Chain A
């Protein structure tokens, strides 16, 4: 109080250069480094992230890690249990399971990434356009979204997959094309509330174009939930692909994916449970990791949580 009362009243309209001082004398922290600092505190998410990074190295360097080709058969050594030679045992035609699981990680992870990528791009664009322009455009796009949503996704997938050629690429696209509606609605909601914000009005008052306002002002502020949802969706897409492959409708033999390895081992579950167990463990750990990372990101990106 004493310091305040010493000031002559006229000084009030001069801004004290040290005003609001402490925070401003520190080096400014960029948004990304703040997110990273907050993410690191989430231990499970960090563990998940480490596992995923490891899996990506495995997928990228699969040719060097795998001990055999994924299509190398050795019928005399069929249904071997895990041993020093075959770390995860062999399947019903004597293929090395370790090699197939390693190769399979390439397919499963890329299916997850590409499918989630397709869903995120479609969902973001459709949601952004609907939310920003509103009116008739919004109405048309959202009714379309609801139609897509009202199909039972898995049966729609099975139908599409039985029509188109079952290449890995098609599987990725089909999963992507069926999983965007939830994201579109979320992005639309974000745009609806953000486009009324005063900083958006200010950008319009300055003469900013629609593209500038969408990409520079609204989208960066709408990205946090999109990133979280994308992360969770990668896990979801890996599961969907495994499910399809398990039904024999996904990635086709001889290409290995975790789902179709399990499908192949299903008949031998009693004699050779390891065939299903190992890819199952990888699916489980990978999806779990994506979910934890998604959770960690959600907390780290939440602007309402201060530090």
Chain B
């Protein structure tokens, strides 16, 4: 068995067979900011502002960014757990955002989500068996003994024991709870799973277990992941392609190797330089960003990153950079990238 940390390297990147499973086009999600006596809308928080990307069959697309940059909201909009303000989400060519509630229910079988908080994501009043088996009840797939068998099978798949089905969530550790959440997401045999920071709340040693479990499940069930995280090393471990978000916008998107070897966007470069290297001899140049992330209520004009960019030019302050493909499969939103 490999050391879990080498797992990704030995597997090599696998970009799937190239079919587009999910298309996100110009997705926007603005939250109204109300205030005053009559709670009038005083402004809009642009949580997700014009984000477009494709997810290919069988790949893992990582989405990284600081907290508050809109990556979780993007994930929820894809599943319509949040109603996007505008834009389009196409799953296998079908428009998710215009679906009625029946179509949406059918779609739930194809797309699932794994949450960040292993404590908040499991109903404390339900047994693990009921939590994992709820999908079968909702979709009328199985009940009684068959449901029990399927639940036990799912628990085995994620590395738990069948007898755990009778326990309550509070009897489990964080890592085990996350496995329960994964089993629940797998119950309907979805094609796409949005992993919303699934390991951020876990201990480092447990993180690698869960990441490897996700990788094994991907191979076994031909899953496609959108993997949201703020930890670049975690994303590097699991992702085939990586998108970097800043203030509700995607600033760079390319395959993992290219991103880590030759990042084009200054923000990506700064992020990558911040990854700690566990080698005391290693001296490297850090690009330290000045200042804080501006408010998404009043994002800066032009390029939203210009206030902190080391290479800021006049054009950056005035014109919002286009989301363009500078090499095949390498998208950047920066005036200066070539």
**How distant is the Cα of A201 from the Cα of B173 in the complex, in angstroms?**
21
Query: Which residues from 138 to 193 on chain A have a C-beta closer than 8 Å to any C-beta of chain B?
Result: none
Contact A221 B173 (CB under 8 A): no
For the complex, give the distance between the alpha carbons of A221 and B124 in Å. 8
Does A85 sit within 8 A of B, measured CB to CB?
no
| A125 proximal to B (CB < 8 A) | no
Indicate with 1 or 0, residue by residue over A259-302, a CB within 8 angstroms of chain B CB atoms: 00000000000000000000000000000000000000000000
Residues of chain B contacted by A212 (CB below 8 angstroms): 138
Judging by beta carbons under 8 Å apart, are A217 and B123 in contact? yes
Q: Bound complex: CA of A145 vs CA of B96, how far in Å?
A: 38
Contacting pair A206 B188 (CB below 8 A): yes
Residues of A within 8 A of B138 (CB): 206-209, 212
- Quick check: is B31 within 8 A (CB to CB) of the other chain? no
Summarize A's interface: helix, strand, loop or mixed.
Answer: helix
Given A11-B1, A20-B172, A220-B125: A202 in contact with B161 (beta carbons within 8 A)? no
Q: Which residues of B contact A15 (CB under 8 A)?
A: 159-160, 175-176, 179, 209
Contact in complex: A203, B134 (CB < 8 Å): yes
Cβ B125 vs Cβ A13 within 8 A: no
Q: Chain B residues near A10 (CB, 8 Å)?
A: 1-4
With CB as the reference atom, state the residue of chain A lying closest to B179: A15
The interface residues of chain B lying within 8 Å CB-to-CB of A209 are 138
B37 interfacial by beta-carbon distance below 8 Å: no
CA distance A197 to B116 in the complex (A): 11
B323, chain A: closest CB distance, angstroms: 28
With contacts A12-B209, A15-B209, A204-B81 taken as known, whether A221 is within 8 angstroms of B123 at the C-beta atoms is yes
**18 cross-chain CB contacts under 8 A:** A8-B1, A9-B4, A10-B1, A10-B3, A12-B4, A12-B208, A12-B209, A13-B212, A13-B213, A20-B172, A28-B166, A31-B125, A198-B121, A203-B134, A206-B134, A206-B188, A208-B138, A220-B125
Q: State the A residues within 8 Å of B (CB).
A: 8-15, 17, 19-20, 23-24, 28, 31, 197-199, 201-209, 212, 216-217, 220-221, 303
Beyond A20-B173, A204-B81, A206-B187: 5 further Cβ-contacts under 8 Å? A12-B4, A12-B205, A15-B175, A19-B176, A220-B123
